[in-house]
Structure formats: structure tokens, C-alpha cells
Structure 1
Amino acid sequence: MAGFSLRCGDCGALLRSVEEAQEHAKMTSHASFSESTEAVLNLVCVSCGKPCRSKTETDLHTKRTGHADFVDKTLEAAKPIELEAPKMEVAASEENAAVTASERAQSEDMMIAEVDKKLLEELESMGFPTARATRALHYSGNNDLEAAINWIADHEEDPDIDQMPLVSINSNTEASKPSLTPEEVKMKAQELRERARKKKDEEDKRMEREREKERIRVGKELLAAKKMEEENERKQLIELRKAEKEEEKRAREKIRQRLEEDKAERRRKLGLPPEDPVAAKPTPPPVDEKKSALPIKPVTKVERMRDSLRFLKQNHKEDDAKVKRAFQTLLTYVGNVAKNPNEEKFRKIRLNNPTFQDRVGSFHGGVEFLEICGFEKQEDGEFLFLPRDKVDMAVLNSAGSELNSAITNPFFGVL
């Protein structure tokens, strides 16, 4: 298969072209490259179009910009690399630079600067063009390989970076200083590689710290959301239990009242005098005296409304959906009258209307609830009619409250 990239044998990096391999070698002093069939990744940001060539680059881009969507265009951009053309171009550029420098030297009495041959060969073996290596050695002192490499890195953007350095023929040139020994060159190269490795390790550690911070932040947000959800569920459960207790309390009070009524009825049938509450309870608390007082009319109607709705639900508990629909229909009738008390059409209901019969009339307790609200049967029982002068807004509001409780409370009518 054709090669789509060059792989660095020292660090494993994938490079798209020979130029990138030379640049990589210049920055890291890595010199071992091999052709690979694996294409360099081309992940394009959907939001801004920035290309990224690795997962690390996409993570950095997401951290800096917040963009998280990328399109993989690796296969679209993958092309076989050219191994010969760049070399030819480099050779041609070096030849042109040498010819230009020679022409300039002849026309201006200038000569190409002399540099240390061994250092020049070492730079060329690293992949640097001859003109660039010569210029770097000349301007960096011509005595240190690392200084020359640093000079190239600092002057990459110079327009004349690939032109041979010229000096005057009449100027006094200093003797070339002794070059580094092969052992020193290896030590320098090893030092450069070690620096590049440390820099890469530091970058990886920094990225890992950033990812760990992000994981901690997301974890905290999830924990806060979970706590909020649990708190909402707890509040709902408390409200539900409170509603259950209220319903149980009303049911117990109703049973107590019925027991008192049955007890009084039995004493009456046996010819016994009514039980003296003072004798039965020598020291009744003030609360019992208040409870013994007769309730006012709206409270009595509220109890009758509640009993009517409870009776309706208990007698039709096998079809909860229809019971709830009946409650909602009664709430609509009551609400229309409360909102429009002067409209007669809302205060008059035909009993034999199919819709009314299906929703309310067929349920025991439905018509009785409307009668408690003030509706009266007229025209031989054909209509339910609420006279305008008998519209009591307090009664209608109480009816709406009881219907809302019956619809929303899942334990309504259970006891």
C-alpha cells in the first residue's frame, strides 16, 4: 500500500510530508523516520472549522473554546506522500541560493562565509538545508551546535533564512574554532531529545490535570443535581403524607360523629334521657366545648359535598377514570356559574342530555352534589336550575375546593 504519512521512530509522531518530518527533526533532533500507511488524523471543528490532528488537540480546543463537535475528514484529506519531490525542491533551492550567493559575491567583492565543516555536516545530517545551516553557524558564533539550532528556531520567519551568508573579501576572518567531538555531538543530541521528552511529559501532565479538574467539576454538578432531585422527591412525599393524614383525620371525625349519633339514637329508642356531656366528661377541655357548638351553614354544606363525592367514588371505584371525569365535569359546571352568575345558560342543565348522563347523571351522588350547590329540579324533573338570587359564591368556592381535592388527592374516598 502507498504511504500516507511518516512515523518518527523515536516518539511515534505521524507527519504528513517530508517538510514536516524535517521540521520535526529540527525541533527534536529525532532522525529515524519510516513510511507508514496510517493517515494523520484530520478532525475538523464543526463550529469554527479548525482542523485538529490528534485527540489531544481536540481536547485542548474544546477546553479553550467550548466547541465539542468534530467531523472526521481523515480519509478525505489522506493523500500518498511524495518522498522525492521535496528533496529535489530542497536541492534546487540550495543550488539557487548558492548561485545567487556566488553572483552577489562576485559583483560586490564578497565571499561566502566559512564555517566549521563538521558542524555543518552534523546540521545537514539532521535535515537542515546547507544554506540555512551555514547561515546559522555563521551568526551563532560557529562553535556550538545547540546555539546554531536555537538561532534557526528564532529566525525561521526571516525572508533570507535560506541564503548563504556573505562576508567581505578584505575582512579579516578568524580561525575556525575546534568543533565538537563525536561523543560531544551525541551528548548534545541526547540532551536535546531529553529536553523534548520532558517538555512533552509536562504537557501530558498538564492535560491530565485539566481533564481531572473537568471530571471533578462534572461530578460536583451531577451530585448537586441528584441532591436537588432527592430534595424535591422528599418534599413531594411530605406533602402526600400530610394530605393522607388530613384525609384520615376527617374520616375518623366522621366515624366519631356517626357513633355519637347512633348512641343517641339507641338511647332514644330505649327511652333513656340524652347523655349529659358534662357527666360523661367531668372536665372537658375548652376545645370540646367549641366542637359541641352547632356548625354554621357553609361548613355543613361542605361536609355534605364531601360525603356526596366520597359516596360517588366508593360506589364506582372499579372505574377510576370515569369517576375523575365526573369530578372534572362537576368542576366545570360550578366554575362556569361562579365566573358568569348572570348567564342563565350556565345555571340550567337538561337532565336527559346524553353527555350529562354519560359524565354525571349516571353516577349516584352527581346530581345530589349539584343540588347541594343550590340547583333545583324544575319542569317535572327535566331540568336542574339555579335561580340567580340563590347563587352563593361562598358555597360555589367551597364546592370547587372539594372537587379539586377529590381530583388531586389519590387517597380521597379510600376510608
Structure 2
Amino acid sequence: MLEGVLLQCGDCGTLLKSAEKAEQHAKENWHTNFRESNEAFVYQVCKVCGKHCVCKTESAMHSKRSGHTEFYDRTAEVAEEEERRKRDNLRQILRVAIDHLNEADTSLAARRRQQLGLPSRPVLEEGQSSLPLAARAEQMAECLRTIQQNHMDDAAKVMKALDSLRMFVRNIAMYPDEEKYRKIRINNAVFQERVGHLRGGIEFLELCGFERTRGGEHLYMPREDVNMDVLYSAANVLNNAIGNP
């Protein structure tokens, strides 16, 4: 089965394949009301013009506009190709991630704390309002290590979590004034599946600057708390874990 979440414009009904497509649609049409669609992904190709449709609604809209009614359904074929490619790549990617996380865990600072009998996680000293950047990065790496160690038998779950966390960090760094990127509904089904229910996931976001709102329904990062140095450090930790240069 093809993975992903379709976004639907609440103003015109257009179905979009990604957050980037939704952002482009919003800029071009001044539409701002988007929601997740429950419609399943398909891979249908128009036999007449070759247009690729990602759901049955899009296929129906194309037929209505163009009069083209016949499609090649390559959904199963494409899903099988994707799964095969993932099986080939995930083991290698996860192996690199483990190496990077182990390097962070055996850093000189960590070894010295162990030799001195100090806690493995840096703690705030009296009067200190926030952790130094290096210490915060070490805690971020430990959160990722926790996710990896708790799901050693599910490489796909680990990579989804890392990719999702990187998306949150990247969006805020690129669009710090956009509140929608600084607010996460904790009970959102997709967030829970990919990050929320994993030990270390929410903790990583809190180290980036997110805070739980009163009532605990959302994670929120106030605009004044956006710290580019922290976000860049988080992105670097994630890139190292994922295995990117």
C-alpha cells in the first residue's frame, strides 16, 4: 500500500500530494483552509494524456474536465516497487544512524562524566535558565537513541519518526513567523503514529523549544522562543542520525 497523507483544500476541494504542494497552492490561490483527507493513495495514469492521479477523486475530476475516462491502475505495482526499494535501503540507512548515535554516546564529554561519576544527562545548575547548546544537542541525540533502541525490529518506524522530526524542525527554521508550523495537536492520529507514542519523540521536540499548552492538547513554540541555533543544532543531530552528509 502506498504511504502518505493527502491534503485537501477546504476552499476549493483540491487534493494535494504534500505539504509543499499545499503551500504552493496557498500562495497561488490565497487559500488557507487545509485538512487531511482520508482518501487512499492510488497510482492511476490516464491512457490518453498520461496524467498521474493520486486518488480516485482526482481521477474523477480529470475525467470530468477532459473527457478521458480510461486509466492504467499501477497502484499495486508502484507499492511493490516502493517496498522493495525501502527494504534495500532501510537496513543501510539505519546502520549509519546507529553508528552516529553510538558516536554521540561515546563522546569525550560523555566518557569524562562517567569517569567523574556525574549523571549521563546534563542538568541545569541553580540559576541557569536553559541548557547550553552542546548539552541540549547531547540530550537530543539521546532521545533519538531511545527511539532507535526501543524499535530495533522496525526500521521503517524509526525512519518515519526521524523524518517527521526533521520536517518539524525544518518548517520552523524556514517559516518562523508561521504559527501553523509552531503548533502541533498531540492527539493527531498521524503525529501519534509517527512521533507522539514513541518514547523520546515529544521530549526531542521539547528540547527544540516546544512547550505543552495548558490542558496538554498541543505542543506550541512561541515566536519569541524560536532559537535558530537550537533548530540548526537539532537538524544536525537528525541529519547525522539519518545518515545524510
TM-score (norm 2): 0.51
Residue 117 of structure 2 corresponds to residue 261 of structure 1: yes
Task: Work out whether 1:323 is the aligned partner of 2:158.
Answer: yes
Question: What is the correspondence of 1:172-321 to structure 2 with a 5 Å cutoff?
Answer: 247-248=102-103, 250-251=105-106, 253=108, 254-261=110-117, 297-321=132-156
Give the aligned partner of residue 231 of structure 2: 396
What amino acid maps onto 1:258 in structure 2? Q
Cα offset, 1:256, TM superposition: 4.0
Secondary structure of the residue aligned to 1:261 is coil
CA distance in 1, matches of 2:192, 2:118: 36
Q: Percent identity?
A: 43
Match for 1:251: what amino acid? Answer: T
- Give 1:257 shift: 1.6
1:313 to 1:332, Cα distance in 2 relative to 1, 3 A: same
Q: Which amino acid aligns with 2:113?
A: Q
CA distance in 2, matches of 1:309, 1:299: 16
Matching residue's letter, 2:114: R
The answer to whether the Cα contact below 8 Å between 2:105 and 2:142 also exists between their aligned partners in 1 is no
Cα distance in 2 for residues equivalent to 1:301 and 1:404: 16
Instruction: From 185, 203, 222, give the equivalent of 1:387.
Output: 222
Superposition pairs of residues 367-382 of structure 1, within 5 angstroms: 367-382=202-217
Task: Measure how far apart 1:251 and its partner are.
Answer: 1.3
Residue number among 337, 343, 346 corresponding to 2:172 in the alignment? 337
Structure 1 residues 375 and 246, CA gap change in structure 2 (3 angstroms): closer
Deviations 1:230-264 (A, max 9, x none): xxxxxxxxxx99x959954751532442342259x
Higher gyration radius (CA): 1
What's the RMSD between the two structures over aligned residues?
2.7
Question: What is the number of equivalent residue pairs in this alignment?
Answer: 137
Q: Quote the Cα distance in structure 2 between the aligned partners of 1:246 and 1:353.
A: 28
Instruction: Say which SS state the counterpart of residue 369 (structure 1) adopts.
Output: helix
Cα pair distance change 1:371/1:321, threshold 3 Å? same
Cα distance in 2 for partners of 1:376, 1:318 equals: 31
* Matches of 2:145 and 2:193, distance apart in 1: 19
SS of 1:381's equivalent in the other structure is coil
Matching of residue 366 in structure 1 with residue 201 in structure 2 = yes
Q: 1:337 to 1:257 in 2, by over 3 A?
A: same
Q: Which amino acid aligns with 2:208?
A: C
Q: Indicate if the aligned counterparts of 2:101 and 2:141 stay in contact, CA closer than 8 A.
A: no
- Rounded to whole Å, the distance in 1 between the matches of 2:142 and 2:101 is 15
Check if 1:350 corresponds to 2:185: yes
The 1:320–1:246 alpha-carbon spacing in structure 2 relative to 1, beyond 3 Å, is closer
Partner of 2:81: none
Unaligned runs of 5+ in 1: 1-239, 264-295, 410-415
Residue 312 of structure 1: how far off its partner (Å):
1.4
Structure 2 portions without partners, runs of 5+: 1-94, 120-130
Alpha carbons of structure 1 residues 383 and 244: separation in structure 2 relative to 1, 3 Å: closer
Instruction: Give deviations 1:98-133, integer Å, cap 9, x for gaps.
Output: xxxxxxxxxxxxxxxxxxxxxxxxxxxxxxxxxxxx
Distance, in Å, in 2 between the alignment partners of 1:342 and 1:310 is 31
Q: Which amino acid aligns with 2:116?
A: E
CA distance in 2, matches of 1:404, 1:333: 13
